[in-house]
Every structure is written in structure tokens, then in C-alpha cells.
Amino acid sequence: MLNYIWGIMILIGVVTASFHGTMGAVNTAFLDSTKEAIDLCIFMLGVVGMWSGFMKVAENTGLIKAMSDRLGWFIRWLFPTIPRGHKANAYIATNIIANIFGLGWAATPSGLMAMKELDELNGKREVASDDMCTFLILNISSLQLIPINMIGYRSQYGSARPSAIIVPALIATLVSTLVGIVYAKGKRKFSRS
């Protein structure tokens, strides 16, 4: 569906540019944005590589396991129907930790694995379980202490203080995560009534 929307928008832009005689400007913008996209991808590849490396070091030194163990009570409270010791718990903890450190790319594989395990617990039914919905809400709200992506983008585009986003991002993601948790717990409680 999204492909159709983008296709229609591009077609409207080309037709409009043709009628107004600004096709040259469209071509120039297209080429400039292509170069900018490639530059941004190369820059972000370095950022992702560095932070993914930090995550791997943290995993190899046992820091991720220690942090996952500390998150155990929170995961049991938020996902009460997941059995203790189930693989989904470890994947959820890893996803939360990666998101807290602003490593959305590093969080994606563990998030996909967590959702796969939650789907197995759900019996692969067509309707998502409360745990699957709660995990999705938690993953989307994504509490972040260090918004690496935004700092990287701000740095790439010449911000004088790229890390100035840390406090506002922390406040915004803290609020969104708290609202998401309250909603998920409330929905779970009222759906049982």
C-alpha cells in the first residue's frame, strides 16, 4: 500500500513540475537528495558499527546478562504469562537494553526473536496475545537514555550541539514509555473483567 502512495506522490510531483516547467529543478533535487542519502547511510553505518561493537563487547563481558537479570522482575511484572526461564524473556530484556541505549538497529533482531517466541506461546493464532501487544507498545515507545540516531543525524547535518537532544529525548521517551505501560497493564486488567 505504501508503495502505491509513494508512486502516486512521485507521479503528481513529476506532472506538476512538467506543467510548471520546473523539471530541471526536480532532476537537480533528485540527484542532490540521492547523494545526501548515500552520505548519510555511510555516516550512520559508522555510528551503527561502533555502537553494535559496544553491545557485542557488553554481551561478551557478561554486562548484558547482568542487566537482563536485573530486568527480570520488570519483565515478569509486565509479561506475567511468560513462563520463567523462557527464551522470550532474554530476547525481551536484550531488546529493552538496546533500545535504552538508543541502538534501534541492534534492538531489531532481538525484538523479532522475542515476537517469534511470543507467537509460539500464543499458539500461532491470528490474533496477537496481550504479551505480544505489550511488547510492541514497549518497543515502539522505546525509552532512550542516549538517542544515538538523533545525535548522529544532528551531527551529520552540522548541529553545533548534536547531543543537546539527550534531555528532551529522555523526557519524551520516558513519558511515552510510561503511558504505554499504563495502557498495556490497564488493557490487560480490563480485558479479563
| Cα distance between residue 193 and residue 185, in whole Å | 13
> For residue 174, what pLDDT is reported?
92
> For residue 140, what pLDDT is reported?
87
**Between 87-100 and 104-121, two packed helices, what is the crossing angle to 10 degrees?**
160
**CB-CB neighbours of 116 under 10 Å:** 13
| Cα distance between residue 65 and residue 51, in whole Å | 17
> For residue 18, what pLDDT is reported?
86
**CB-CB neighbours of 22 under 10 Å:** 14
pLDDT tens, residue order, the chain (193 aa): 788 998 898 889 888 888 888 888 888 887 888 888 888 788 778 877 777 777 778 778 888 778 778 888 999 999 999 998 888 888 898 888 888 887 777 778 888 899 999 999 988 888 888 999 999 999 888 888 888 778 877 887 888 998 898 899 899 999 999 999 999 999 888 876 5
Alpha-carbon torsion (153, 64, 55, 93), positive or negative = negative
Q: Which of 150, 59, 60 has its CA nearest to residue 97?
A: 59
C-alpha cell at 151: 545525535
C-alpha cell at 100: 535504552
> For residue 193, what pLDDT is reported?
57
Q: Which of 188, 142, 144 has its CA nearest to residue 166?
A: 144
Q: How far is CA 118 from CA 86, 131, 149, 165, in A?
A: 10, 7, 28, 34
pTM, 2 dp? 0.70
